[in-house]
C-alpha cells in the first residue's frame, strides 16, 4: 500500500486519480498527522505539493515531521513542495523566483527507472515559484529552461523529488507514477 502525504495540495483529486488508475491501494495522511505515524506498513510514500512558501517561513520547523524520510528505507517520491522538503532535509538551499504555472518541456539528463518510457524532452505541468538546489549525494535527473533541478534522486536510496506535477501532466505523468509504483513492489 502507498501512503500519500497531503501537504495541502489543490491537486489532491488528480493525485488520487493518478495513483488509483494503477490499481494500487493507498492511504492519505494529512501533514498534521505525521508525528508518530507508522510508515513501516507502506511500500512507498508520495509527498504532495502544497501552498506553503518555504522561503518565507521557518522551513526547518515545517520539515521536522518529515525527518523519517532520511532514515527510512522505502521508496519516496516528493512532488513540488515534497521535492523541496526532500532537498532541504538533505542540505539544499531554497530560492524564490517568478511564478510558473504552465506546461513546460523537461529535459531528462540521466536514464533512471523513474523516467522509463518517458521521452527525453516531455511536457510536464509546473505550478511553483520556489526552487531548491541539488543536495550533496543526489543525482540530477532532469532540468528545464526555468528550473535547474526538475528531478533528483538520492545516491543510495529510492528517494526522488520532482519539481513538476506529474498528476497534472496526463499520460506522461501517469508513467512517472507507474514507474514509482513498480519500485515500491520490488
Q: Catalytic amino acids?
A: 80, 165, 167
Q: How far apart are the C-alpha atoms of 14 and 12, rounded to whole Å?
A: 5
Task: Count the neighbouring beta carbons within 10 Å of the beta carbon of residue 54.
Answer: 20
Is residue 82 within 8 Å of 163, Cβ to Cβ?
Answer: no
Amino acid at each position: 500500500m502507498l501512503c500519500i502525504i497531503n501537504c495541502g495540495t489543490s491537486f489532491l483529486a488528480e493525485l488520487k486519480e493518478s495513483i488509483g488508475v494503477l490499481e494500487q491501494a493507498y492511504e492519505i495522511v494529512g501533514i498534521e498527522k505525521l508525528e508518530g505515524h507508522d510508515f513501516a506498513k507502506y511500500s512507498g510514500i508520495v509527498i504532495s505539493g502544497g501552498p506553503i512558501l518555504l522561503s518565507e517561513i521557518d522551513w526547518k520547523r515545517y520539515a521536522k515531521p518529515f525527518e523519517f524520510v532520511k532514515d527510512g528505507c522505502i521508496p519516496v517520491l516528493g512532488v513540488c513542495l515534497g521535492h523541496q522538503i526532500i532537498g532541504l532535509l538533505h542540505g539544499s538551499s531554497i530560492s524564490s523566483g517568478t511564478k510558473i504555472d504552465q506546461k513546460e518541456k523537461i529535459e531528462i539528463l540521466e536514464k533512471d527507472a523513474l523516467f522509463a518510457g518517458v521521452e527525453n524532452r516531455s511536457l510536464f505541468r509546473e505550478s511553483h515559484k520556489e526552487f531548491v538546489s541539488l543536495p550533496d549525494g543526489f543525482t540530477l535527473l532532469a532540468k528545464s529552461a526555468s528550473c535547474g533541478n526538475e528531478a533528483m534522486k538520492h545516491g543510495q536510496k529510492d528517494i526522488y523529488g520532482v519539481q513538476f506535477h506529474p498528476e497534472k501532466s496526463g499520460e506522461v505523468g501517469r508513467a512517472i507514477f507507474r514507474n514509482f509504483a513498480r519500485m515500491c513492489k520490488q
